[in-house]
Amino acid sequence: MLPDARLNLTFGLFPNPLALWDSPAVVTVFLVLLLLAALAFAGGICRRSAAIFLWFGWACLFNRNNLITNPSIPYVGLLLLLSAVVPLGEGWTFTRSRSDWRFPASVYWVAWLLLAAGYSYSGWVKLSSPSWIDGSALLHILENPLARPGPLRGALLLAPPLTLRVASWLSLAPELAFLPLSFCLTTRSAIWFALTVLQLVILGFVNFADLTFAMLLAHFFVFDPRWLSFWRVAAFQSFDDRLTNLIHPV
């Protein structure tokens, strides 16, 4: 935390107890309570209350140190708030599950549309950045102090400039397309997969795991299990069609 709460741009905008009491003992107790709430949340114990308390703690910590800001922070808060309104009775918890439990479609679509809008907005903002326009953005990322050293990074730094420019533009395309492709089952699963792979690639190249892991949590929150059966059925149908064409050629 910053030594003086008044150094934060958000000072006074949020009822933060850490702005009044910030001794090491108080902060330690606060963090321990958040840890216990996180364990309860993970186990489904008092999930709604734990989610609200975790959201409050998350907001307090950010309000006390604005220097930790990154694009994933609002999404973590969003996931916690949405988790607080999801009905009880889900499986894989230490509490009793309900056979008729369903994940609310409204919660899913709020999370999905805000995630998609955030990605597409980020893509459009990058279109005004000279490094993304000329394709040098990936080179700047590889030369950044946060870039992970390794043979793959070294190989990319030795790659022809055109290769890095094309890679920069290709990485920007899924962000721009996220929101427009969100309204069809086939394209929705495809764009989700593309952005998930992109986040994993970022994790491999950039030592900024707190950002990437948080974004991956948002991705997993909107994962639709129906995609698995959809792609499996589509694959079998394609195989059957090809087999039919071989046996009974047109």
Contact 11/5 with Cβ under 8 angstroms? yes
Q: Is the pLDDT of residue 229 over 60?
A: yes
pLDDT tens digits, residue range 8-41?
888 888 899 988 888 999 999 999 999 999 999 9
Say how many Å lie between the first and final Cα of the chain, rounded: 71
The span from the CA of 191 to the CA of 204, in Å, is 20
Task: Give the three-class secondary structure for 78.
Answer: helix
pLDDT at residue 249 in the model: 40
Summarised one tens digit per residue, pLDDT across range 155-207 is 888 989 899 999 999 999 999 999 999 988 788 999 999 999 999 998 988 88
